[in-house]
């Protein structure tokens, strides 16, 4: 009986929270966008330029494009702007809907060590949050598991698709690890003494080292079995998931914010010879020289945030991206993994950094090209270049400005439905006040 009730609850929630937007079909014919400003990101912008794409791929970018394929649809932008789609570089997009409803949270599994967890298979393409986020120009999301010590592997998802399979751009994108606290914690919701933190930290790091050592033994045994052709090794999905990390094919995304966490995580990654990306990185600018030395990028979470220490300047978080830029550390700006609904504000996080000294071009790159490079998808997205995916947005101005409207989105050449719940509610209540004869 309880099982039936739970299933009914999940079914009702799924129906109630499902997006009404219909996923777009594949691009059926060549499309030419002309008479617009093309912001390639990787090179200079092209005024009164054009961009041609077919079968989901950009085939030409320039001031004027001739020799068009047959059946090309030409769209006059009339001075509008074209940018690459923005990227939510660290998120739980598609993995959660309502934080207070447990059955809609699918970003965390029980247990401390779950490297075999795959974010993409839990991705919900019908989330109501997706169209709202998409409407503000954020059309790719790095969906990350978050629970335990080793959370699992993440995936880069396109914010359109019938199923998780056809929404996945890259999987696995990396393995996620939550670095333990390095000292006492005193917050409104949680307290931990120095002694408790030290004990918990030692246990966590011992478990982390033991896990990687076991995975390397599995790797060695499997390689020996492959070479001999006679020995067999039982497949273990936990260690299979870690093999790309051990082979340095994908990165460890280390969730660490405090300076001691970052320093110890860098030492650990060097000792285990793995590629690493810092996620969070509140104090990353304080150890920028260390990160630059080892070429460790940062996904900086929460530019528009309060200082975490009483003695810090009010603009500590606002100016951190500028300091990382000045130190030569590659970084991306993200809203973070504490919720999915706010990722529509990703461009405004970059805008805040720009208003506190980060060059505007760097701010824009931090949510496009740099994010793509950190996630290992820059061969496909992040800039507007021949041979890359036609994953782009058309706007009436600068996407980092709050007044700018995103008028159309294309994902791999597919023309995306621009409706969403926010727009529907706006129209509904606009009609209410019209009927009541109440002026704007």
Q: How many of the other CB atoms lie within 10 Å of CB of 398? A: 17
Q: Is the peptide bond before 231 cis (omega within 30 degrees of 0)?
A: no
* pLDDT for position 275: 97
Evaluated on CA atoms 15, 18, 22, 25, the torsion sign reads negative
Strand 168-178 with 298-301, pairing: unpaired
* CA 317/CA 356 separation, integer angstroms: 10
Q: Give the DSSP H or E segment for 168.
A: strand 168-178
Residue 415 corresponds to which tokens in the numbers above? 């023309």
* pLDDT for position 103: 73
**C-alpha of 208 from chain center:** 25
Q: Are residues 117 and 243 in the same domain?
A: yes
Strand 73-76 with 31-38, pairing: parallel
Q: Single out the residue in 84, 110, 139 at which a domain terminates.
A: 84
* Backbone angles phi and psi of 36, in degrees to 5: -135, 170
Residue 181 domain flag: yes
Q: Are residues 184 and 74 in the same domain?
A: no
* pLDDT for position 3: 47
Asked if 281 and 257 count as a contact pair (C-beta separation under 8 A), the reply is yes
Domain, as residue range, for 101:
86-381
Q: Are residues 36 and 132 in the same domain?
A: no
Q: Are residues 49 and 136 in the same domain?
A: no
Strand 138-143 with 86-91, pairing: parallel
Residues (pLDDT < 70) of the chain are 1-19, 186-189, 230-231, 440
Q: Crossing angle of helices 194-228/237-246, nearest 10°?
A: 90
SS3 (DSSP) at 255: strand
Q: How many of the other CB atoms lie within 10 Å of CB of 295? A: 11
| Nearest C-alpha neighbor of 24 from the set 409, 435, 301 | 409
* pLDDT for position 4: 47
Q: Are residues 72 and 128 in the same domain?
A: no
Residue 267 domain flag: yes
Q: How many of the other CB atoms lie within 10 Å of CB of 225? A: 13
Residue 390 domain flag: no
| Nearest C-alpha neighbor of 389 from the set 166, 120, 158, 173 | 158
* pLDDT for position 200: 87
SS3 (DSSP) at 58: strand
Long-range contacts of range 242-249, CB-CB < 8 Å, 24 or more positions apart?
242/115, 242/175, 242/211, 242/212, 242/215, 243/215, 243/219, 244/172, 245/174, 245/175, 245/274, 245/275, 246/212, 246/215, 246/216, 246/219, 246/274, 248/273, 248/274, 248/275
* pLDDT for position 8: 45
* CA 120/CA 128 separation, integer angstroms: 17
* pLDDT for position 114: 94
Q: Are residues 75 and 95 in the same domain?
A: no
* CA 336/CA 338 separation, integer angstroms: 6
Residue 244 domain flag: yes
Q: Single out the residue in 46, 64, 84 at which a domain terminates.
A: 84
Q: Are residues 80 and 124 in the same domain?
A: no
Residue 110 domain flag: yes
Q: Specify which residues 202 forms β-bridges with.
A: none
Q: Tell me how many domains the chain contains.
A: 2
Q: Angle 46-51-53 (CA atoms, 0-180°, nearest 5)?
A: 160
Residue 305 corresponds to which tokens in the numbers above? 């945030």
Q: Are residues 76 and 91 in the same domain?
A: no
pTM over 0.85: yes
Q: How many of the other CB atoms lie within 10 Å of CB of 426? A: 11
Residue 426 domain flag: no
Residue 52: CATH number of its domain:
2.30.40.10
* pLDDT for position 62: 94
Residue 198 domain flag: yes
Residue 121 domain flag: yes
* pLDDT for position 9: 47
Q: Specify which residues 255 forms β-bridges with.
A: 178, 279
Q: Are residues 245 and 106 in the same domain?
A: yes
Q: Are residues 79 and 133 in the same domain?
A: no
Residue 96 corresponds to which tokens in the numbers above? 């959660």
């Amino acid at each position: 009986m309880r099982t039936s009730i739970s299933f009914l609850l999940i079914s009702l929630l799924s129906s109630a929270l499902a997006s009404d937007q219909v996923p777009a079909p594949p691009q059926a014919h060549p499309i030419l966008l002309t008479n617009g400003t093309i912001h390639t990101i990787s090179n200079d912008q092209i005024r009164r330029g054009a961009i041609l794409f077919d079968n989901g791929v950009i085939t030409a970018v320039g001031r004027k494009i001739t020799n068009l394929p047959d059946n090309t649809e030409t769209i006059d932008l009339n001075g509008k702007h074209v940018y690459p789609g923005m990227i939510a570089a660290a998120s739980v997009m598609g993995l959660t809907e309502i934080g207070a409803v447990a059955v809609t949270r699918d970003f965390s599994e029980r247990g401390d060590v779950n490297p075999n967890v795959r974010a993409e298979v839990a991705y919900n393409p019908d989330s109501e949050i997706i169209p709202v986020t998409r409407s503000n120009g954020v059309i790719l999301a790095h969906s990350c598991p978050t629970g335990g010590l080793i959370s699992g592997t993440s995936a880069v998802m396109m914010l359109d698709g019938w199923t998780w399979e056809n929404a996945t751009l890259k999987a696995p994108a990396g393995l996620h690890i939550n670095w333990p606290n390095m000292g006492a914690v005193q917050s409104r919701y949680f307290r931990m003494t120095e002694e408790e933190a030290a004990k918990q930290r030692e246990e966590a790091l011992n478990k982390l080292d033991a896990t990687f050592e076991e995975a390397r033994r599995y790797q060695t045994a499997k390689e020996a079995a492959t070479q001999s052709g006679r020995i067999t090794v039982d497949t273990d999905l936990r260690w299979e998931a870690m093999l790309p990390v051990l082979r340095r094919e994908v990165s460890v995304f280390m969730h660490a914010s405090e300076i001691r966490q970052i320093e110890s995580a860098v030492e650990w990654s060097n000792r285990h010879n793995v590629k690493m990306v810092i996620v969070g990185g509140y104090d990353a600018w304080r150890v920028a020289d260390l990160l630059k030395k080892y070429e460790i990028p940062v996904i900086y979470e929460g530019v528009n945030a309060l200082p975490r220490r009483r003695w810090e300047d009010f603009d500590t978080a606002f100016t951190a991206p500028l300091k990382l830029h000045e130190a030569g550390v590659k970084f991306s700006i993200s809203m973070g993994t504490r919720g999915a609904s706010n990722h529509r504000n990703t461009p405004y996080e970059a805008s805040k950094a720009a208003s506190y000294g980060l060059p505007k071009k760097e701010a824009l790159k931090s949510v496009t090209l740099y994010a793509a490079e950190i996630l290992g998808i820059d061969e496909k997205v992040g800039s507007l270049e021949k041979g890359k995916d036609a994953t782009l947005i058309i706007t009436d101005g600068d996407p980092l400005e709050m007044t700018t409207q995103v008028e159309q989105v294309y994902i791999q050449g597919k023309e995306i439905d621009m409706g969403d719940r926010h727009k529907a509610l706006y129209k509904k209540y606009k009609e209410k006040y019209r009927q009541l004869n109440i002026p704007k």
